[in-house]
Amino acid sequence: MTIKTSNAGVTVIKKLFSRHETFVFLAIVIFGLIITVVNPDFLTLENVFDLLKSYALMGTFAVGMLFVLISGGIDISFTAIATITGYVIAVLLLQNGEQLNIVSVFAIAGGVGVLLGIINALIIYYFNIPSIITTIATLNIYYGLLTVISKGKWLYGFPAWFGQYTQMYVFKFTAANGTSYGLSVITAFWFVLMLIAWFVLRYTVLGRSIYAMGGNSASAKRAGFNLLRLNLFVYGFMGLMAGFGSVIQALLVQTVAPNSLVGKELDVVAAVVLGGASLTGGTGSVLGTFLGVVLIAIMGNGLTLMRVPAFWYKVVIGTVILISVGASAYRRKVSARRRTIIEVE
Amino acid sequence: MERKYSEFLVLFFILLGVIGLMWLLNGSTFMSLNNFRSMAFQLPELGILSMAMMIAMLTSGINLSIIATANLAGIIMALILTQTIPPEATGPGGIGLVILAILAGLLVAAAIGLLNGFLIAHLEISPILATLGTMILVSGLALAITKGYVVSGFPPAMRAIGNSTILGLPVPILIFAAGAVILSVILQRTSLGARIYMLGSNPLACFYSGVNNPRVLMSTYLISGLYSGVAAIVMISRFNSAKADYGESYLLLTVLVSVLGGVSAAGGFGRVSGLILGLIILQIISNGLNLMGVNTFLTVALWGMVLIAVMVLQFLLNRYKEKRRSI
């Protein structure tokens, strides 16, 4: 009798544990506990809000990367795209910064980003070149040309109105010692992007088509999906996020440098992959991606707070990625096997 | 048969054209013995790494971890060479120690290769993600072991590998040639080679014709890892040091060399002879641009464009051939 009554609970738990996000969440809790035990400074609201602000950049890139991975591709040129859009807005801000406002800055950066992303999409679609090779090439083209044209100069000294956004909060607390902290508008912007992405992926035809293309692009094509349009959207969207990210970076550090983003593309791929997205099979979710970014953030921050030397950071991230990818691949394999058995019966 | 010859000939004529062009642009500085000697010392590193990339691409995979593997293997070798036994105790020029170090380095490279193979073959993770993960892990280990410092000061026997000549030929070129011959024999003369090509063209058909696909993939990534280890020997002996982030710009170039040499990114096609010609073409262009004083970043952008141009050309050629066949 008791078994029967607990059945509902068991299925809920079973369902929960069939989801990748649950494991990422558990990993976050475990890591969080360990870090807090070693250094109680970790689990303070101040630190949490701080992390959410400084990782809004990676989080924004990750939203774009999620779409690309779900579609079955990969894009590592986005850091170069973001560097270009960063330069474009920096030059405009320095030349006639008073005529611009935050909306136009985002629009310009996003627009340039979309254009560069579309170049990727056209090459990948029309010449059937694997996305990894295409974007390795365009990463070097975009970055090489930018460095030649900009001569590697750092740009700073933006107008005052551009600086104020780092100190703007949706809501704010004041600690006993007088320092104030809260939910930054930059974090809020990232959250809004995630909400939009979640809605598009879950409730629109466009979103479902991207999953279909990632699941099996040949069948998706036969089923009548317009793969050109989907590719344009996915890589264009990645470009848009790269452009937005470059504005966030410029807001956070008030400087645009040629080498501040390029080289970090794999960290973003890592975060999204940690969150359960895979290159094969049209899987991945916004919630998972958010948890992946959070996991990377607390590992980076936690190692610092635990006074672990910085060069161990990559070892930890690499190990966690391999375990995560390995575990989800293994589960996929087991469930595929189970499915075939049912078919036989 | 016809296809092989025509592709090789096309590459050969491109090579002649490139040599002519660089001669025209740079004159005698390009056509000097010294210049060719320095190219002969630079080329093997990239060549061996390109072979490590090529074999993964033949199975329609990719190995993003080759440079990280080479660096970690190099660091292990360097640590054994500098931090253990006094080299004089192990024979002239520390030869015993050098052999020990090289074996240890190759063992590490092989282990990373097997890890990649296991992830790709048995857990069925896509090669991009699997090798991305090992790349981050392995380069992290390299960084953690060295704390970012350079490990340098090798015994004479080690330095000799990278900087001396036998019968007028630089030792690195001889190592590269041996590696090329061995890989060519594996690919063209053994059943493993035949299986690698088959797996790359059509994994499902390959599986149903009785091939143990996971085993072929394990061997592929093991060989890829070992070649990265061999590249490490050449690399650290030439620089007389090892570091966690040497050669990071090679990733684009190894893909470019493979593609330029006729390796298909979709797998199943490509030969070592093509790769060697692709490598020489790239080295000559790079050397010529260098002599002309072209900005390195412009060169990098140029490589990106060449990579896309070659892939587009391959695509158009294939489509043209298919059209002719269907008629």
Contact A314 B136 (CB under 8 A): yes
Angle between helices B213-239 and B66-83 (to 10 degrees): 50
B235 pLDDT more than 70: yes
Contact A333 B124 (CB under 8 A): yes
Structure tokens at B309: 């141009």
Residue A140: Cβ-neighbour burial (10 angstroms; 0-12, 13-18, 19+): buried
Q: Are strands B151-152 and A255-256 parallel, antiparallel or unpaired?
A: unpaired
Which candidate, A212, A250, A220, A193, places its Cα nearest to that of A64?
A193
Determine the pLDDT at residue A7.
66
Nearest by CB to A315, which of B137, B265, B311? B137
Average pLDDT over residues A87-109: 90
> By the CB < 8 Å criterion, does A264 face chain B?
no
Confidence band of B18 (pLDDT split at 50, 70, 90): confident
- Are the C-beta atoms of residues B238 and B162 closer than 8 Å to each other? yes
- Are the C-beta atoms of residues B62 and B263 closer than 8 Å to each other? no
> By the CB < 8 Å criterion, does A148 face chain B?
yes
Average pLDDT over residues B8-32: 78
> By the CB < 8 Å criterion, does A147 face chain B?
yes
Average pLDDT over residues B209-229: 93
Confidence band of B87 (pLDDT split at 50, 70, 90): low
Instruction: Specify the range with the lowest mean pLDDT, choosing from A213-227, A267-281, B29-43.
Output: B29-43
Pick the residue from chain A with its C-alpha nearest to B302.
Answer: A141
Distance (Å) of CA B161 to CA B72, B133, B241: 19, 32, 13
Residue-wise pLDDT for A150-193, tens only, equals 888 898 888 888 888 877 788 877 767 767 778 889 999 999 99
Instruction: Specify the range with the lowest mean pLDDT, choosing from A120-129, A283-292, A295-304, B108-117.
Output: A295-304
The answer to whether residue A314 sits within a structural domain is no
Residue-wise pLDDT for A269-293, tens only, equals 889 988 888 877 678 899 999 999 9
Q: What is the number of structural domains in chain A?
A: 1
Q: How far apart are CA A312 and CA A55, in angstroms?
A: 20
A307 CB neighbour count, 10 Å cutoff:
8
Q: Which residues of chain B make contact with A317, given a CB cutoff of 8 A?
A: 136, 140
Contact A317 B136 (CB under 8 A): yes
Determine the pLDDT at residue A135.
93
> By the CB < 8 Å criterion, does A331 face chain B?
no
Structure tokens at A53: 């602000």
The answer to whether residue A18 sits within a structural domain is no
Contact A318 B138 (CB under 8 A): yes
Nearest by CB to B304, which of A132, A137, A280? A137
Residue-wise pLDDT for B77-86, tens only, equals 999 888 766 6
The answer to whether residue A210 sits within a structural domain is yes
> By the CB < 8 Å criterion, does A303 face chain B?
no
The answer to whether residue A343 sits within a structural domain is no
- CB neighbour list of residue A30: distance below 8 Å, 6 or more residues apart: none
Q: Which residues of chain A make contact with B126, given a CB cutoff of 8 A?
A: 278-280
Contact A143 B297 (CB under 8 A): yes
The answer to whether residue A324 sits within a structural domain is no
pLDDT exceeding 70 applies to what percent of chain B? 94
Distance (Å) of CA B324 to CA A106, B312, B317, B318: 50, 19, 11, 10
Nearest by CB to A319, which of B137, B255, B265? B137
Q: How far apart are CA A182 and CA A3, in angstroms?
A: 47
Q: Which domains does chain B have, with CATH numbers?
A: 2-326 (1.10.3470.10)
- Are the C-beta atoms of residues B281 and B104 closer than 8 Å to each other? no
Determine the pLDDT at residue A193.
96
* DSSP run (H or E) holding A170: strand A169-174
Alpha helices in chain A (DSSP H): 2-5, 7-17, 20-38, 45-54, 56-70, 78-96, 102-127, 131-150, 160-163, 185-203, 205-215, 217-222, 227-253, 265-274, 286-305, 313-344
Contact B315 A128 (CB under 8 A): yes
Average pLDDT over residues B186-198: 91
Q: Which residues of chain A make contact with B148, given a CB cutoff of 8 A?
A: 311
CB contacts < 8 A, A to B, total 142
Q: Which domain holds residue A48?
A: 44-260
The answer to whether residue A130 sits within a structural domain is yes
The answer to whether residue A119 sits within a structural domain is yes
Structure tokens at B57: 């691409």
SS3 content of chain B, % helix, strand, coil (to 5): 80, 0, 20
Determine the pLDDT at residue A83.
95
Angle between helices B171-189 and B272-291 (to 10 degrees): 150
- CB neighbour list of residue A119: distance below 8 Å, 6 or more residues apart: A138
Which ipTM value was assigned to this complex? 0.84
- Are the C-beta atoms of residues A261 and A143 closer than 8 Å to each other? no
Contact B128 A128 (CB under 8 A): no
The answer to whether residue A208 sits within a structural domain is yes
- CB neighbour list of residue B196: distance below 8 Å, 6 or more residues apart: B55, B58, B59, B187, B216, B219, B220
Q: How far is B115 from chain A (nearest CA, A)?
A: 10
pLDDT exceeding 70 applies to what percent of chain A? 94
A120 pLDDT more than 90: yes
Q: Which residues of chain A make contact with B307, given a CB cutoff of 8 A?
A: 133, 136-137
A35 pLDDT more than 90: no
- Are the C-beta atoms of residues A275 and A290 closer than 8 Å to each other? yes
Q: How far apart are CA A133 and CA A124, in angstroms?
A: 9
